Amino acid sequence: MDFNFSGSFDVPHQPAAVYEFLADPNRFAPLLPDFESVEKTGEDLYTVKLRVGVSHIRGTASVRLRLAEANPPLHAAYEGKGDVPGGTTALHAGFDLEPSAGGTRVNWTGRALIAGRLPSLAGGLLEPLAKKNLARLIDGLKAALS
C-alpha cells in the first residue's frame, strides 16, 4: 500500500531556525503521534520507535531514519525503513523552506510504502489513520515552530 501526501504551512521564524529544528530528529520526533523513543545510531542515522495500533494489530514500529538530503537552510529530506506490526515500511519525507514576509513557508512531501500482512488485515483503515496522524504531526510542527 502506497501513500503520498503533501502540503505547506507558514511559521514566524527564519528558514535557518526552521531548518535547524527539522534537521534534528531529537527535536521533531517527539511530535510524531504515538512517539516512544528516538536514538542516534550513527552519523545522520536514528532509530525512531512509535506505538502502532490499527484494528486488532498493535505493537511497536521501529524505523531506521537517515537525513538523506541536506541543503541548509532551504531543504532537508529523510529516508526511512522499518518494521511495523504485520509488515515493513519505507518512508520519505522532504521539506523545502522559502523565506516569506512573516517568516518561512514550509512545503512538505511525504511518502509511505507499507508491505506485508498489515495492509490486507487493516484494509481501508490505514489511509484515514495515516491522514489523521499526519495532521497531528503538522499541527505539532506548527505549534513547536510558532
Q: For 82-93, how does the pLDDT look when each residue is reduced to its tens digit (9 = 90+)? A: 998 878 999 999
Q: What is the mean pLDDT of residues 79-108?
A: 94
pLDDT at 123: 66
The C-alpha cell at 127 is: 489511509
Of the candidates 137, 117, 103, 138, which has an alpha carbon nearest to the alpha carbon of residue 55?
Answer: 117
Q: How far is CA 104 from the centre of its chain?
A: 19
Q: Is there a cis peptide before residue 73, judged by omega within 30 degrees of 0? A: yes
Domains observed in the chain: 2-144 (3.30.530.20)
Helix (H) or strand (E) holding 59: strand 57-71
Per-residue pLDDT, 127 = 78
pLDDT tens for 44-63 read 899 999 998 776 778 899 99
What whole-number distance in Å separates Cα of residue 93 and Cα of residue 19?
A: 14
pTM confidence score: 0.88
CB contact at 8 A, 64 and 70? no
Mean local confidence (pLDDT), 84-112: 94
pLDDT digits (tens, 9 = 90+) for 8-29: 999 999 999 999 999 999 999 9
Report which secondary-structure segment, H or E, holds 25. helix 25-28
